[in-house]
Amino acid sequence: MSAVADTAENATPSVAGDAVQSAPPTAVPDVAAIARLANALYATPPASPYPGPGAALPSAHVFASEPAYNSVPGTPTLHPPLTPNQNPGRPALPIPESGAAQPSAHVFAAEPASRNPQQIQSAPALASGSPTGPGLDTLELPSFSRSPQNTPSTGAAAPARPMSGAPAPSRSATNELDYAAVPLSLGGTLSLVPEFDDGDLSYGNDTLAGPAYGAASPGNSFAFLDRSTAAPFDPAPKSGNGATPATKSASTPASGTPFAYAYSASPLDVSALDLNALGYQHQPAVAGSPQAISGVRPFDPRAIRRDFPILREQVNGKPLVWLDNGATTQKPQSVIDRLAYYYAHENSNIHRAAHTLAARSTDAYEDARAKVRTFINAPSPESIIFVRGTTEGINLIAKAWGGRNVGEGDEIIVSNLEHHANIVPWQQLAAEKGAIIKVAPVDDSGQIILEEFEKLFTPRTRVASFSQVSNALGTVTPVADMVAIAHRHGAIAIVDGAQSVSHMPIDVQALDADFFVFSGHKMFAPTGIGAVYGRPSILEAMPPWQGGGNMISDVTFEKTTFHGAPARFEAGTGNIADAVGLGAAIDYLSRIGMSNIAAYEHELLEYLTRGLLTVPGLRIIGTATEKAGVASFVLDGWRVEEVGKALAQEGIAVRAGHHCAQPILRRFGLEATVRPSLALYNTTDDVDALIVVLQRLQASRARR
């Protein structure tokens, strides 16, 4: 497809490739005539999903009496119309009253095969100058063939088909689409993701390519970089968010983390990686055989990045490179807009009062709870408790369940990998009750030793609490086997999902966990919100851990009766707005697809690992076969804080410290490491920027 904008004064427009001629007016035409001309200019050719020649996106409306963009029918407008003096750089999208904020919802309401551009209402938008969206007046969209049956409007994976092992050839156009030039409100960045030809489903974003890092250096042992195992594709997820039945190889402990890999985040060294095999040893073992998808909807991190306004920040004069996702993730515009909409249109207390805003707020809050239930495949919304985050969730369990079920001489098992939040509450409980804490060891790669883990259990063991992914090392633990071991010995199993929930599909029923806890801010939701899943039979027997309003059924001076779960555990006014924001974040992730995210991040972590191995004197801490999202390292000749500051000067944000996980770092003889951690919006460019600074540091050290 070619698109050439003819915007010269008095030029004759050509519309949709047909000879629709319009002579220059002899006098100033009326507004309606110019509007009709503009609508013809932006008309879409038949059977084309994009505007025709000259189809620069219309600039924001300048008449204060009319909105900049028409609202989607049946939805309220978030902000009042712009005035002539306002800068319409990024008008907000309307948000449905249901609270179902959609990520990257395209400004065109129709499906891709029948999109029509927004109709202009008056003449000023036809001014011969550039439109409000910079760089869009002469853009041409890359030409990719579209097939309606292979273009799911939901963003879900397309039907499986064989995938080429080689990257797709570079696609060129007269003007390449500049994602940075597209205003956030004009589109939906996911709708800008280029879709591949039917016969070409390999990942081929050549513009994202960084150096193709080679095989591991001698002396470094990273089995996942050099071994691959092919596996069949099971096209039908069996339950929840992509989980599969608990069948596994006897030699590979199951993590309970369903994965499906299909494409590469970068042009890795194909001599070292058999991309046709599509099933690396590094890929986390799942509750079911490893899967390989042979054809899915493309994942374009450039488009994803457009959803995150903070990623356009400059830090120390350099573009922000956010590689501190293990600490917290950035927020997409849809989440930001959903919060603004809540406070503008729904703000009220919940589960009380009969007025309209109370009903809206209650509906939005409970709708978010239902979204959490679906996202982790919990059995019911009543099994989901809102908390401030993982730390508060574990404290709730330790105090409410542990206070009643753990006594003197009883045992609590944690692992050497744990975050302080999964250690300190159990220490407090043990000190109060006279209980004993036991620690499951890890091997030299940072993986749980299952045989040693099971040896810790006795008839006095009451609870085992462990992470699904280590926040310090990135190790993906065999949680399915660990849960099964705990149950076999009569103990309950608690899974800390703070570091897993944004990287992989979660199915708490497939895991068979008694509790699963996570934080919203680590999965693109606001801070101060998280959730606890609890097995319903256990929640029914648990007493409340705090008292106050909202959780009571009846109060007298003699006695108080409590609601059932989850209200029993949500005393007082909760974090209503941020719970709604969590629901919006789940909408965003669900539209992209957690399996797609997992696949992309898997490849990007391999790319990062290869890059780190090119830096002289760099030692990676945590070399387990199964990892997700995190690479932790130390650099010879530099303190970790020096490395962190050097990276910060270049706009690169990483964590340099003990990561609230001192015991596991001390297991490796360290007090601190540098920890870059990945998310769905990171690219090979981010990794390359990190590697360049590290190599520069070592080069400067060699000259000293």
- The residues assigned a catalytic role are 660
Q: Which residues contact 48 (CB under 8 A, 6 or more apart)?
A: 1
**Residue type at 373 in one-letter notation:** R
Alpha carbon distance 672, 267 (integer Å): 32
How many residues are present in the chain? 704
Instruction: Output the DSSP codes for 577-616.
Output: HHHHHHHHHHHHHHHH-HHHHHHHHHHHHHHHHHHHTTST
Burial profile 149-158: b = 16 or more Cβ within 10 angstroms, e = fewer: ebeeeebebb
Q: Distances in Å between the alpha carbon of 226 and those of 13, 367, 623, 630?
A: 58, 45, 13, 19
Question: In this structure, how many other beta carbons lie within 10 angstroms of the beta carbon of residue 145?
Answer: 11
In 157-309, which ranges are E strands?
A: 260-261, 291-292
Cα angle 232, 233, 234 (rounded to 5 degrees) comes to 120
Q: Is 488 helix (H, G, I), strand (E, B) or coil?
A: helix
Alpha carbon distance 250, 236 (integer Å): 23
Q: Is the dihedral of CA 93, 98, 100, 102 positive or negative?
A: negative
Alpha carbon distance 367, 147 (integer Å): 34
Q: Distances in Å between the alpha carbon of 267 and those of 86, 205, 207, 261, 525?
A: 44, 9, 10, 15, 31
Q: Which residues pair with 537 in a beta bridge?
A: none
**Residue type at 652 in one-letter notation:** I
Phi, psi of 576 (to 5 degrees): -65, -50
Alpha carbon distance 471, 463 (integer Å): 21
Question: Taking Cα atoms as reference points, which of 108, 114, 83 lies closest to residue 93?
Answer: 108
Longest dimension (CA), the chain: 97
CB 342 within 8 A of CB 580: yes
Q: Which residues pair with 560 in a beta bridge?
A: 555
Q: Is 552 helix (H, G, I), strand (E, B) or coil?
A: strand
Alpha carbon distance 41, 125 (integer Å): 12
Q: Distances in Å between the alpha carbon of 639 and those of 616, 622, 690, 697?
A: 15, 19, 17, 12
Q: In this structure, what token pair is assigned to residue 167?
A: 């990257």
In 230-363, which ranges are E strands?
A: 260-261, 291-292, 314-315, 318-319, 321-322
Q: Determine which helix (DSSP H) or strand (DSSP E) holds 62, and give its type and residue range.
A: none
Q: Could you tell me where the DSSP H helices lie in 221-305? A: 223-226, 301-305
Question: In this structure, how many other beta carbons lie within 10 angstroms of the beta carbon of residue 231?
Answer: 17
SS (H, E, C) 120-164: CCCHHHHCCCCCCCCCCCCCCCCCCCCCHHHCCCCCCCCCCCCCC
Question: Taking Cα atoms as reference points, which of 31, 45, 85, 39 lies closest to residue 62?
Answer: 85
Alpha carbon distance 466, 172 (integer Å): 49
Q: Which residues pair with 534 in a beta bridge?
A: 515
Q: Could you tell me where the DSSP H helices lie in 170-305? A: 223-226, 301-305
Q: Do the strands 314-315 and 318-319 form a parallel or antiparallel pair, or are they unpaired?
A: antiparallel
**Residue type at 156 in one-letter notation:** A
DSSP 46: T
